[in-house]
Amino acid sequence: MKRKKYNYFRFSLILGFVLLVNINCDRDLSDDAVQTGFSSAAEIFIDGFSSGLEYYPYENSKLDAFTVDSQTKYSGSSSMRFDVPNFGDAEGAFAGAIFRDDNGGRDLTQYNALTFWAKGTKAGKINEIGYGQDFGENKYEVSIQNLHLTTNWKKYIIPIPDASKLTQERGMFWYAEGPEDENGYTFWIDELKFEKLGTISQGQVSILNGNNQTETSYVGVNSLIDGVTATYNLANGNNQTISISPSYLQFNSSNTAVATVDSSGSVTSLSTGTALINATFGGASVTGSLTINCAGAFVHAPTPTKSQANVISLFSDVYSNVPVNYYNGYWQPWQTTVSNDFSVQGDNILNYTIFNFVGIEYSSPTVDATAMTHVHLDVFIPGSIAPGRQLRVLVVDFGADGVFGGGDDTRHSTTFTAPTLVSQNWISIDIPFSTMPTLASRSHLAQLILEGGDGSLIYVDNIYYYN
């Protein structure tokens, strides 16, 4: 239930700026000051930046992907031009930015949509585009995913789920788009503004993408309601689905002794039992729900005792971890495993559901474990252990070339069965490299793979090499 975090980072400069603004505001406002209204200007970019609008590209994006174009435009004298880089472009892997109102925010309560005209040099699909990102709380973020461009100018509409929330919104516009089939391209946006349209239907709102999900949890586990969407019927009769922040909804727990849910959709499990979490939007119930089956107190994995100097850690709350590309590669086509990681009182747990196999990769850079003697991990299998059940731990070295393949990769698989495998107890696994004859080298370790799942759950903690 973890909400996906964007891999876009803010400039530290911006953090400083936000702080400064807040300090200034606090100093200027006396206690009995009446809050004056913020600008309700609709225009963001018509033929130039509107007052207070600032451009902040994401870190690792092509910083100059955005320019003002006076040659190609839908109307007026100029448009916004976005140059998406080719795959491998040293200037940035993607194009993406937020456009923020730095005059303190705008009052958008009188509008019900962000609209613009757009076209591309090809019929690309913009990964994400919307409003409500401010490099702060992003409280009322909204986006369309895979907005399909055409090579002709076309008007696009991104509805506002509940404008009454947007009394001081700073996130006017944001987008993120990568190469299409490794090729960059250019798209333009013009007449970017908020509007009050009478031709947008009431929204159909869902949480968890409309599914009724059930989740096993423990006391202290936090889960976040995601997959919050709203679908609107537009003037042409077509439906438009947008992803919206949970903060637009009101959440409810059927049993607040078992689990509570706050206004941002964060669920906290409190005691053994079952609670149904659902939501309303504008007083109407929404589709989708989360049933929390809280199994009581979580039994933590044994706390590692090695000192940091003797450890290369991939996943632990005790040690600092080396860079890991991913803890779940979603390797297709045969992997069923889904990650549903959770945290109990600061103890982060890898939670693999529908587990058959899963790969963890740490190849940027690869790990030189020649000074290490063992690999360690703790696993916990909540379900029963069927006869013959195996758990295989594979350690993979990418060889001298440091990349996957190339003919120099080696690996070793170690198999565990009952009685080592037990249910409902942490299983501490320590495998000496001396017992991995088919692992020819450990100077370019890059993957750790777990195999042998039966389609149920497995928790993993404290993955590290040590001596």
Partner 1 sequence: MNIYIKNSCKSFFLFGTFSLLLSCSADEKQTVTTLDKLVLQDEFSVDGAPDSALWNYDIGKGPGGDGWGNNELQYYTDRPENIKVENGMLKITAIQELYMGSGYTSARITTKGKFEQKYGRFEARMKLPSGKGLWPAFWMLGSNIDINSWPQCGEIDIMENKGSQPLTVSGALHGPGYSGGTAITKSYSFTNSRVDTDFHIYGVEWGPNYVNFYIDSVLYNQITPEDATGEWVFNSNPFYMLLNLAVGGNFDGAPNSNTVFPQEMLIDYVRVYQ
The distance of closest approach from Cβ of residue 283 to partner 1 in the complex, given in angstroms and rounded to an integer, is 14
Nearer to partner 1, 22 or 239 (CB): 239
The distance of closest approach from Cβ of residue 240 to partner 1 in the complex, given in angstroms and rounded to an integer, is 11
> Can you tell me which of 70, 77, 110, 239 binds partner 1, judged by CB under 8 A?
239
> Can you tell me which of 88, 237, 333, 407 binds partner 1, judged by CB under 8 A?
237
Sequence-distant (6+) residues with CB within 8 A of 400 are: 408, 441, 444
Parallel, antiparallel, or unpaired for β 426-432 and 95-101? unpaired
Residue for token digits 């949890």?
Answer: 217
Residue for token digits 């379900």?
Answer: 383
What are the two backbone dihedrals, phi and then psi, of residue 433, each rounded to the nearest 5 degrees?
Answer: -60, -25
283 binds partner 1 (CB under 8 A): no
Contact criterion met (CB below 8 Å) for 346 and 456? no
Distance CA 136, CA 132 (A): 10
Nearer to partner 1, 233 or 328 (CB): 233
Nearest alpha carbon to residue 42 among 102, 98, 115? 115
* Chain residues 68-87 in contact with partner 1, contact rule CB under 8 A: none
The distance of closest approach from Cβ of residue 230 to partner 1 in the complex, given in angstroms and rounded to an integer, is 13
Nearer to partner 1, 115 or 373 (CB): 115
Per-residue contact string for residues 197-236; x = within reach of partner 1 by CB under 8 A: xxxxxx-x----------------------------x-x-
* Chain residues 174-203 in contact with partner 1, contact rule CB under 8 A: 196-202
Radius of gyration of the chain (CA): 25
Q: Which residues of 6-45 are buried (b: 16+ CB within 10 A; e: fewer)?
A: eebebeeebeeebeeeeeeeeeeeeeeeeeeebbebbbbb
Nearer to partner 1, 70 or 239 (CB): 239
Burial of 303 (0-12, 13-18, 19+ CB in 10 A): exposed
Distance CA 356, CA 60 (A): 34
Contact criterion met (CB below 8 Å) for 265 and 253? no
Nearer to partner 1, 186 or 206 (CB): 206
Nearer to partner 1, 210 or 220 (CB): 210
The distance of closest approach from Cβ of residue 52 to partner 1 in the complex, given in angstroms and rounded to an integer, is 25
Contact criterion met (CB below 8 Å) for 160 and 42? no
The distance of closest approach from Cβ of residue 234 to partner 1 in the complex, given in angstroms and rounded to an integer, is 8
The distance of closest approach from Cβ of residue 195 to partner 1 in the complex, given in angstroms and rounded to an integer, is 10
Q: 13 in helix, strand or coil?
A: helix
Nearer to partner 1, 197 or 371 (CB): 197
> DSSP assignment, residue 233?
E
Burial of 99 (0-12, 13-18, 19+ CB in 10 A): buried
Nearer to partner 1, 244 or 277 (CB): 244
293 binds partner 1 (CB under 8 A): no
The distance of closest approach from Cβ of residue 110 to partner 1 in the complex, given in angstroms and rounded to an integer, is 11
The distance of closest approach from Cβ of residue 286 to partner 1 in the complex, given in angstroms and rounded to an integer, is 13
Parallel, antiparallel, or unpaired for β 229-233 and 239-244? antiparallel
Parallel, antiparallel, or unpaired for β 357-361 and 212-217? unpaired
The distance of closest approach from Cβ of residue 364 to partner 1 in the complex, given in angstroms and rounded to an integer, is 42
What are the two backbone dihedrals, phi and then psi, of residue 16, each rounded to the nearest 5 degrees?
Answer: -60, -40
The distance of closest approach from Cβ of residue 111 to partner 1 in the complex, given in angstroms and rounded to an integer, is 13
* Chain residues 44-63 in contact with partner 1, contact rule CB under 8 A: none
Nearer to partner 1, 238 or 332 (CB): 238
CB atoms within 10 A of CB 405: 9
Q: Give the number of residues in contact with partner 1, rule: CB under 8 A.
A: 12
For Cα atoms 7, 18, 246, give the angle at the middle one, nearest 5 degrees.
55
Nearer to partner 1, 146 or 390 (CB): 146
The distance of closest approach from Cβ of residue 202 to partner 1 in the complex, given in angstroms and rounded to an integer, is 6
- CA distances 144 to 104, 250, 329, 427, Å, are 25, 22, 25, 44
Distance CA 310, CA 371 (A): 9
Nearer to partner 1, 199 or 285 (CB): 199
Tokens in use for 30? 């006396």
Give the binding site for partner 1 (CB under 8 A).
196-202, 204, 233, 235, 237, 239
